[in-house]
């Protein structure tokens, strides 16, 4: 893949001076139009060989365009804060909003390639990372982002010359150290592994563009021209209509499903409930302070029908925890800031550090529940969300996050009784809204959506725990027991 980038491309000074003002005008014009329209975001990856001019190129782009509309991310070694979260957390957090350009110097390719070059992983590990990257970039494209990936290349001979020239000049000597020369010894291995990664991940919605980096004028004008042309083409495109989809439904001829199979008659006497509550809260408290929790974090997901007791269950769980080490994340309609980024962005950024709990009162499952039923998401979007959610949860579990998901369920009759009770009780009346009554009318559609959710996202790494919550005491105890069991099994 690198033959054409080892030909010794150069651009003379006169041609550069002629092209520079035209490129700057084109870049700035498309950037300002992007910022005004806010139709999509632009994700630019700048990767490549050491000494190929990645930093210089980024500085030039910031100088030629409006830096206020560019978010530049130099992704070096992960910080201690970043190491406490899943590997992709720091990239998700840095994704630009619609209307802006996000530049990544170093990216989600860096660690997989470097680990393979240094022998810390094998070919199978690299292929796994590549598959995850392909799904991540497909998600970005499906969410509307323009993904541009640039590889700045140097031949082995030119890289050696570049490092020597930088080291020889007193003004740039600081940029070359022993580590750079150690990496140079791995040039052949790095080139081979990088070629595999680029070949596997250069796809229609996120192609790699390889540019020879030896000549600064050629490198700068080539990238600037590509960026301006790509932006112009995307801005001039007619937005495509929603793709046709085939809904994967099975007829429920016997009217049985996972929700109707729950035994809602289960009850727990008040006296036994109090004993079990105290015992389980004590057990959870000890687990939260266990020495093994220093290297783990816990994510609790609470979903369920309206008035099923999610809030009451959450209060009983956090009552057993130290307030310094948990955070409740209530999920409502997305804000303008959240709408400007991919759907899962607002959940990724709330993942807890090691030793901490994050409790989601509703969650990322809104896309395949309320957004599906209410028509707030196109069928193509909520159908692809199953796979994206499974990938998200797999990333958490691979990092060591203890993920526990609860669906709290009650009957329609019990829901009506609780709604009417809320209407009559002053301190509970605020819990009941017009939306609750409207959702109740869509019960069959929600039931179908929940069954699909369980079918497609209850995996071996993140199974659903379906809780019969017709009796609140029974439901709360089942939730506490589920949290304790999950943490203990992870230890």
Collapsing DSSP to helix, strand or coil, 298 comes out as strand
Determine the Cα–Cα distance for residues 475 and 282; give it in Å rounded to an integer: 18
Determine the Cα–Cα distance for residues 85 and 341; give it in Å rounded to an integer: 20
Residue 260 predicted with pLDDT over 70:
yes
- Cβ-contact 30, 228 below 8 angstroms: yes
Determine the Cα–Cα distance for residues 204 and 335; give it in Å rounded to an integer: 31
* Residue 271 CA: distances (Å) to CA of 263, 275, 469, 473, 483: 22, 7, 18, 10, 22
Residue 251 predicted with pLDDT over 70:
no
Residue 112 predicted with pLDDT over 90:
yes
Could you give the residue range(s) of every CATH 3.40.50.300 domain in the chain?
A: 3-236, 270-490
Residue 242 predicted with pLDDT over 70:
no
- Which has the minimum average pLDDT: 75-89, 359-373, 416-430? 416-430
Determine the Cα–Cα distance for residues 122 and 35; give it in Å rounded to an integer: 43
- Res 150: pLDDT: 97
Determine the Cα–Cα distance for residues 186 and 188; give it in Å rounded to an integer: 6
Q: What is the CATH number of domain 270-490?
A: 3.40.50.300
Average the pLDDT over 291-303 and give the result: 96
Residue 79 predicted with pLDDT over 80:
yes
Closest CA to 377 of 433, 339, 434: 339
Mean predicted lDDT score pLDDT of the chain: 93
Q: Percentage of the chain with pLDDT > 90?
A: 82
Task: Select from 3.40.50.720, 3.30.950.10, 3.30.390.50, 3.40.50.300 the CATH code of 3-236.
Answer: 3.40.50.300
- Residue at token pair 């000597």: 173
- Res 3: pLDDT: 85
Claim: this prediction has a pTM higher than 0.75: yes
Residue 92 predicted with pLDDT over 90:
yes
Indicate the DSSP class of residue 358: E
Average the pLDDT over 295-317 and give the result: 96
- Res 238: pLDDT: 83
Average the pLDDT over 341-351 and give the result: 97
- Residue at token pair 């010359």: 161
- Res 379: pLDDT: 92
Residue 248 predicted with pLDDT over 70:
no
Average the pLDDT over 109-128 and give the result: 94
Average the pLDDT over 251-261 and give the result: 83
Average the pLDDT over 192-221 and give the result: 94
User: How does residue 388 score in pLDDT terms, banded at 50, 70 and 90?
Assistant: very high
**Tokens, residue 217:** 């004028």
- Which has the minimum average pLDDT: 76-80, 318-322, 433-437? 433-437
Determine the Cα–Cα distance for residues 235 and 99; give it in Å rounded to an integer: 11
Indicate the DSSP class of residue 46: E
Average the pLDDT over 197-204 and give the result: 95
Closest CA to 373 of 384, 386, 382, 361: 382
User: How does residue 169 score in pLDDT terms, banded at 50, 70 and 90?
Assistant: confident
Average the pLDDT over 230-237 and give the result: 95
Q: Cα–chain-centroid distance for residue 65? A: 28
- Res 256: pLDDT: 86
Residue 70 predicted with pLDDT over 70:
yes
* Residue 385 CA: distances (Å) to CA of 70, 359, 362, 453: 29, 21, 16, 10
- Res 115: pLDDT: 94
- From its phi and psi, is residue 356 left (phi > 0), alpha (psi between -120 and 50) or beta? beta
User: How does residue 76 score in pLDDT terms, banded at 50, 70 and 90?
Assistant: confident
Strands 208-212 and 101-105: unpaired
Bridge partners of residue 329, in order along the sequence = 360
User: How does residue 290 score in pLDDT terms, banded at 50, 70 and 90?
Assistant: very high
Q: Percentage of the chain with pLDDT > 70?
A: 97
């Amino acid at each position: 893949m690198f033959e054409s980038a080892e030909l010794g491309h150069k651009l003379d000074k006169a041609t550069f001076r002629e092209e520079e003002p035209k490129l700057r005008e084109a870049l700035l014009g498309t950037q300002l139009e992007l910022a005004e329209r806010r139709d999509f975001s632009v994700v630019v990856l700048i990767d490549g060989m050491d000494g190929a001019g990645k930093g210089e190129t980024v500085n030039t782009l910031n100088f030629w365009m409006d830096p206020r509309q560019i978010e530049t991310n130099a992704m070096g070694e992960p910080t201690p804060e970043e190491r406490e979260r899943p590997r992709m957390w720091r990239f998700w957090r840095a994704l630009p909003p619609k209307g802006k350009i996000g530049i990544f110097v170093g990216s989600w390719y860096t660690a997989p390639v470097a680990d393979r070059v240094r022998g810390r992983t094998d070919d199978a590990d690299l292929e796994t990372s590549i598959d995850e990257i392909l799904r991540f970039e497909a998600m970005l494209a499906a969410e509307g982002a323009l993904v541009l990936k640039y590889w700045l290349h140097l031949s082995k001979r030119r890289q050696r010359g570049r490092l020597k020239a930088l080291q020889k000049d007193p003004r740039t000597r600081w940029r070359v150290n022993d580590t750079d020369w150690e990496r140079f010894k791995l040039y052949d291995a790095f080139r081979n592994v990088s070629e595999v990664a680029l070949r596997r991940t250069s796809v229609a919605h996120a192609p790699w563009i390889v540019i020879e980096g030896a000549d600064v004028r050629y490198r700068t004008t080539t990238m600037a021209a590509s960026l301006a042309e790509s932006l112009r083409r995307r801005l001039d495109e007619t937005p495509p209509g929603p793709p046709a989809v085939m809904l994967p439904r099975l007829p429920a001829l016997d009217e049985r499903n996972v929700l109707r199979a729950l035994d809602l008659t289960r009850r727990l006497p008040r006296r036994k409930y109090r004993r079990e509550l105290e015992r389980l809260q004590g057990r959870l408290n000890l687990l939260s302070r266990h020495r093994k929790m220093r290297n783990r974090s816990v994510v609790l997901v609470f979903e369920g029908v309206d008035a099923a007791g999610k809030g009451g269950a959450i209060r009983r769980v956090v009552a057993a925890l130290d307030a310094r080490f948990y955070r409740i994340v209530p999920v409502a309609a997305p804000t303008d800031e959240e709408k400007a980024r991919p759907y899962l962005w607002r959940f990724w950024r709330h993942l807890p550090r090691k030793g901490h709990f994050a409790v989601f009162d509703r969650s990322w499952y809104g896309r395949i529940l309320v957004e599906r039923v209410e028509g707030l998401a196109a069928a193509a979007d909520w159908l692809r969300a199953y796979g994206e959610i499974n990938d998200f949860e797999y990333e958490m579990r691979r990092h060591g996050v203890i993920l526990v998901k609860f669906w709290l369920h009650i009957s329609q009759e019990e829901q009506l009784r609780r709604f009417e009770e809320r209407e009559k009780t002053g301190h509970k009346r605020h819990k009941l809204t017009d939306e609750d009554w409207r959702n109740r009318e869509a019960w069959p559609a929600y039931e179908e959506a929940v069954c699909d959710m369980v079918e497609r996202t209850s995996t071996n790494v993140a199974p659903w725990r379906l809780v019969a919550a017709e009796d609140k005491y029974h439901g709360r105890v089942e939730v506490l027991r589920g949290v304790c069991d999950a943490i203990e099994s992870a230890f």
